[in-house]
Amino acid sequence: MAHLSIVGWLTLRPRTVPWVPAANLEPLATIRAELAHGLSWDAVQHLGGSVLLLAPLGVLLPLSAGRLNVSPLVSLTRTVFAGAMIALAIELLQSGVPGRVPDIDSVLLGALGVALVHLAVVPGARSRLRRRYEHVGDTTPRIPRVGVARQADVLTGSRTYL
């Protein structure tokens, strides 16, 4: 929640700019435009910032689910879809913020960052946790057999309530 609060503060603050470019709804247009002049520091900052902005969600979303035994493909799909929907929601909210312009490439780069971090961290962490806790799931806790208590007469005397 703290990470999403920081992301919201960074992306949904109004900016004072002299001009605003048009919204980009063509996939990969911004990425091509950034890389058209070669790999410069500005291109790395812009594209890398978009990739890194939502990247921690690649670990935080599976961690919040708390599942150890899940298919890696299902986990990746679920996490990337959730990350892409969060990125899309941010871009849709930016359309109403002065000085901010929605860009479909930010959604793609955000989903790419979520996927890369998920692939780099989650499968290894899950396998380590499974190895650590593999003995816990093998045994079922046993409770000694307890007999049934005698039936006690709660209502003593001649009082009946029925």
Q: Where residue 153 falls among pLDDT bands split at 50, 70, 90?
A: low
Q: Where residue 16 falls among pLDDT bands split at 50, 70, 90?
A: confident
pLDDT tens sequence across 100-126: 889 999 999 999 999 999 999 999 999
pLDDT tens sequence across 54-102: 999 999 999 988 888 889 999 999 999 999 999 999 999 998 888 888 9
Q: What is the pLDDT of residue 142?
A: 63
* CA 87 from centroid of its chain's CA atoms: 10
Could you give phi then psi for residue 72, rounded to 5 degrees?
-60, -35
| pLDDT of 151 above 80 | no
CA distance 113 to 80: 9
